[in-house]
Amino acid sequence: MGKPNSRENIFSRLNKAVRTVPAWYPDPSPWEPARLTPKERISQFKELMTAGRSEVYPVKGDEWVAQLKKILHERRINTLTYGPETEIGKVLATEWETNDGSTRLIPWNNTIETFRDELFKIDAGITSTMGGIADGAALILWPTPEEPRLLSLVPPVHFALVRADKIFASFTEAIKKLDWAKKAPTNSLLISGPSRTADIEMILQFGVHGPTDLIVLVVE
Amino acid sequence: MDNQSKFNFKHNVEKGLADSELRSNLKFATNTLRAKRKALFADPEETHALRETGRNIKARVLSRLPKLLGKLEKNCIRNGIRVHWAETTDEANQLVLEIMDKHGAAKMVKGKSMVSEEMHLNSFLEKKGKTPLETDLGEFIIQLNNEPPSHIIVPAVHKNRRQIARIFADKIPGATYTEDVDTLLKTARKILREHYRTAHIGLSGVNFAVAETGTLCLVENEGNGRMCTTVPPVHVALMGLEKVVEKLEDVPPLYRLLCGSATGQRITTYFNMITGPRKKGERDGPTEVHLIILDNGRSKILADGQLQETLRCIRCGTCLNHCPVYTRIGGHAYQSTYPGPIGTILMPQLEGLDKKGALVTASSLCNACEEVCPVMIPIPELIRRLRNEHWDMDKKGVLKGRGSKKSILEALVWKTWKFTCTIPWINRIQLKLMGLSGGFLPEIGPLKAWTSVRTKPVFSKKSLKDLAKKEGIRHG
Amino acid sequence: MKNHSETSKTVYYFGTCLADMVYPQAGMCGIKLLQREGIRVIYPQSQTCCGQPAYNSGFPSEAKEVALTQVRIFSGSSAPVIVPSGSCAGMMKYHYPALFRDDPEYFEVKKFSDRIYELTQYLNSVLHARYEDKGPPIRLTWHSSCHAMREMECTEDSKALIRQLENVEMVEVENEHECCGFGGTFSVKQPEISAAMVHDKAENLRATGTEKFLTGDCGCMMNINGHLEKQRSPMKGQHIAEFILERING
pLDDT in tens, A161-203: 999 999 999 999 999 999 999 999 999 999 999 999 999 999 9
User: In whole angstroms, what is the distance from residue A67 CA to residue A101 CA?
Assistant: 13
Half-sphere CA count of B108, side-chain side, radius 13 A: 30
Contact: C15, B420; criterion CB under 8 Å: no
C105 assigned to some structural domain: yes
The pLDDT mean for chain A works out to 93
Distance CA C14, CA B70 (A): 54
Please report whether residue C96 resides in a domain: yes
- Report the pLDDT averaged over residues A40-69: 95
Residue A88 lies in a domain: yes
- For residues B251 and B70, what is the distance between their CA atoms, to the nearest angstrom? 19
Are C219 and C110 members of one domain? no
Is residue A107 within a helix (H) or strand (E), and if so which, with residue range? Answer: strand A104-107
Burial class of B419 by CB neighbour count within 10 A (0 to 12, 13 to 18, 19+): middle
- Give the chain B residue nearest A173 (alpha carbons): B249
Q: What is the three-state SS of B270-307?
A: EEEEECCCCCCCCCCCCCEEEEEEECCCHHHHHCCCCH
pLDDT-above-70 percentage for chain A: 97
At B98, the amino acid letter reads: E
Q: Which of C42, C199, C222 sits opposite B475 (nearest CB)?
A: C42
The stretch C3-9 carries a mean pLDDT of 69
Kindly state whether residues C102 and C137 are assigned to the same domain. Answer: no
CA distance B27 to B218: 29
B-chain residues near A110 (CB < 8 A): 283
Chains touching B (at least 3 CB pairs under 8 A) are: A, C
* Residue B287: exposure state from Cβ atoms within 10 A (0-12, 13-18, ≥19): middle
CB < 8 Å from A in window 262-281 of B: 263, 266-279, 281
Length of chain C: 250
Task: Tell whether C2 is covered by a domain.
Answer: no
**What mean pLDDT is predicted for residues C13-41?**
97
Does any CB of chain A come closer than 8 Å to the CB of residue B189?
Answer: yes
**Closest CB from C21, C146, C230 relative to B366:** C146
A135 lies in a domain? yes
Q: Are residues C37 and C88 in the same domain?
A: yes
How many domains does chain C fold into?
A: 2
Helix (H) or strand (E) holding B273: strand B270-274
Q: Taking CA A172 as the corner, what is the angle to CA A167 and CA A174, rounded to the nearest 5 degrees?
A: 35
Digit-coded pLDDT (tens) for B404-444? 999 999 999 999 999 999 999 999 999 999 888 866 677 77
Strand partners, B83: B291
Amino acid at site B130 = K
- Beta strand pairing status for A157-163 and A196-197? unpaired
Same domain, C106 and C136: no
pLDDT in tens, A203-214: 999 998 999 999
Angle of helix B20-40 relative to helix B251-263, nearest 10 degrees, comes to 140
Other C-beta atoms closer than 10 Å to the C-beta of B412 total 10
Whole-number average pLDDT of chain B: 95
What does DSSP say about strands A138-141 and A131-133: parallel, antiparallel, or unpaired? antiparallel
Q: Which of B362, B434, B471 sits opposite C21 (nearest CB)?
A: B434
Give the range of the structural domain holding residue A82, as residue numbers without chain letter.
Answer: 37-219
- How far is it, in rounded angstroms, from Cα A134 to Cα B244? 27
Can you state the angle between helices B9-18 and C191-206, rounded to 10 degrees? 30
Domains of chain B and CATH, by start: 41-164+198-299 (3.40.50.10420), 315-391 (no CATH), 409-470 (no CATH)
Provide, rounded to the nearest whole percent, the portion of chain C with pLDDT above 70: 97
Q: Which stretches of chain B score pLDDT less than 70?
A: 1-4, 438-440
Average pLDDT on C115-130 reads 98
- Which of C69, C104, C125 finishes a domain? C125
Res B1: pLDDT: 47
Nearest Cα of chain B lies from the Cα of C30 at a distance, in angstroms, of 11
Residues 378-407, chain B, touching C (beta carbon < 8 A): 381, 384, 386-391, 393-394
pLDDT at B443: 78
- β-strands B288-294, B234-240 pairing: parallel
Domain boundary among C125, C141, C171: C125
Listed residue (C194, C109, C58, C154) closest to B381, CA to CA: C58
The alpha carbon of residue C189 is apart from the nearest alpha carbon of chain B, in Å, by 7
Number of domains chain A is built from: 1
**Residues 6 or more apart from C74 whose CB is under 8 A from it?**
C12, C14, C44, C47, C81, C112, C115
Assigned domain for A185 exists:
yes
Q: Residue C5: is its pLDDT beyond 60?
A: no
The CATH number that applies at residue A147 is: 3.40.50.10420
Which among A186, A192, A213, A216 is the top mutation candidate for probing chain B, defined by the most B β-carbons within 10 Å of its own β-carbon?
A: A186
Contact B340/B319 with Cβ under 8 angstroms?
Answer: yes
Q: What pLDDT score does C74 carry?
A: 97
Mean pLDDT of A110-126: 96
Identify the chains in contact with C, defined as 3+ C-beta pairs within 8 A.
Answer: B
Residue C64 belongs to what domain range?
10-125
Give CA–CA dist A210/B6, Å, rounded: 40
Cα(B447)–Cα(C131) distance, integer angstroms: 40
Asked if residue C109 lies in contact with residue C63, where contact means CB atoms within 8 angstroms, the answer is: no
Q: What is the mean pLDDT of residues C139-158?
A: 98
pLDDT tens digit sequence for B176-235: 999 999 999 999 999 999 999 999 999 999 999 999 999 999 999 999 999 999 999 999
CB contact at 8 A, C182 and C220: yes
Q: Tell me which residues of chain A, numbers 20 to 39, contact chain B at a CB-CB cutoff of 8 Å.
A: 20-31
Express each pLDDT in B230-271 by its tens digit.
999 999 999 999 999 999 999 999 999 999 999 999 999 999
Task: Quote the CA–CA distance of B75 and B78 in Å, as a whole number.
Answer: 5
Distance from CA of C197 to the nearest CA of B (A): 7
Q: Are C146 and B368 in contact (CB under 8 A)?
A: yes
Asked if C230 and B455 come within 8 Å (Cβ–Cβ), the reply is yes
Cis amide prior to A137 (ω within 30 degrees): yes
Which neighbouring-strand residues pair with C138?
C168
Give the separation between CA B177 and CA B192, rounded to whole angstroms.
19
The pLDDT of residue A26 is 73
Average pLDDT over residues A9-27: 89
Q: Are residues C121 and C136 in the same domain?
A: no
CB pairs under 8 A between B and C: 190
Contact C218, C237 (CB under 8 A): no
Same domain, C217 and C180: yes
CA–CA dist B331, B149 (Å, integer) = 8
For residue A1, what pLDDT band results from cuts at 50, 70 and 90?
A: low
The CATH code of the domain that includes C211 is 3.40.50.11810
Decide if C3 is inside a domain.
Answer: no
Q: Chain C within 8 Å of B44 (Cβ-Cβ)?
A: no
State whether residue B283 sits within 8 Å of chain A by CB: yes
Task: Give the per-residue pLDDT at B2.
Answer: 58
